[in-house]
Amino acid sequence: MDLARHCDLCDHQKISLKLGTTCGLTDRKPEFNRTCAKIELNEKFEHKLKSVNIEYQNIKRKKILTYTYFAVFLAIGIAVIVGGYLLGKYALDSGVISTVPIIIMGVGLVPLGMAFGTLNKHRQEIEVAKSKKDKVDEVLNEYRIEYVINIVFGKEIHGTQEVYAELKTKGIS
């Protein structure tokens, strides 16, 4: 395990571009086997724990919207492609291999790209957020710290989301 992950939660952490993460007590890089005896889990710990959980929950709650967006744009793309094909085959009596139907079918690829792009973006975001949360949880498991977090998403005003998080921890001495 990366020892700096422990320091990311500790109030003693010092960061510099030259040395990277160092301990504020010893002015050296982290040196311990599994857990740090002098770790200080207060404000930084609480902020980090809340932020990774809020980010993860925020992405999870957008799942339905993402899949709806995917389905709508997939349907639009397929409808435009099929419409271009049918236009060329039946309305123009020139067969499908003509300029207008091919252009229409090409335009139908744009909504398909938007649909799959949105789906892939959501999957990547949830994977990254889950990874961050798991890394914090892994460190907390080393210290036998359990937590319960209650997150409530309020109104979104001009792109800014109100979030209320109540954190209860067990095992911090």
pLDDT higher than threshold 60 for residue 173: no
Count of domains for the chain: 1
Per-residue confidence (pLDDT) for residue 70, from 0 to 100:
97
Assess if residue 157 is contained within a domain. yes
Mean pLDDT of the chain: 89
Residue carrying structure tokens 């049918």: 86
Does 8 map to a domain? Answer: no
What domain range is 45 assigned to? 41-170
Q: How confident is the model at residue 88 (pLDDT cuts 50, 70, 90)?
A: confident
In a domain, 28, yes or no: no
Query: Are residues 161 and 58 in contact, defined by beta-carbon separation less than 8 angstroms?
Result: yes
Asked whether residue 39 carries a pLDDT value surpassing 70, the answer given is yes
**The residue to which tokens 């001495």 are assigned:** 173
18 domain-assigned: no
Residue 7's nearest CA partner among 124, 35, 47 is 35
22 falls within a domain: no
- Whether 24 is covered by a domain: the verdict is no
Report if residue 27 sits inside a domain.
no
Measured between alpha carbons, how far is residue 144 from residues 41, 124, 172 in Å?
13, 30, 8
Asked if the structure places residue 65 within a domain, the reply is: yes
**Is the entire prediction scored with pTM above 0.75?**
yes
| Positive or negative torsion for Cα 84, 88, 89, 91 | positive
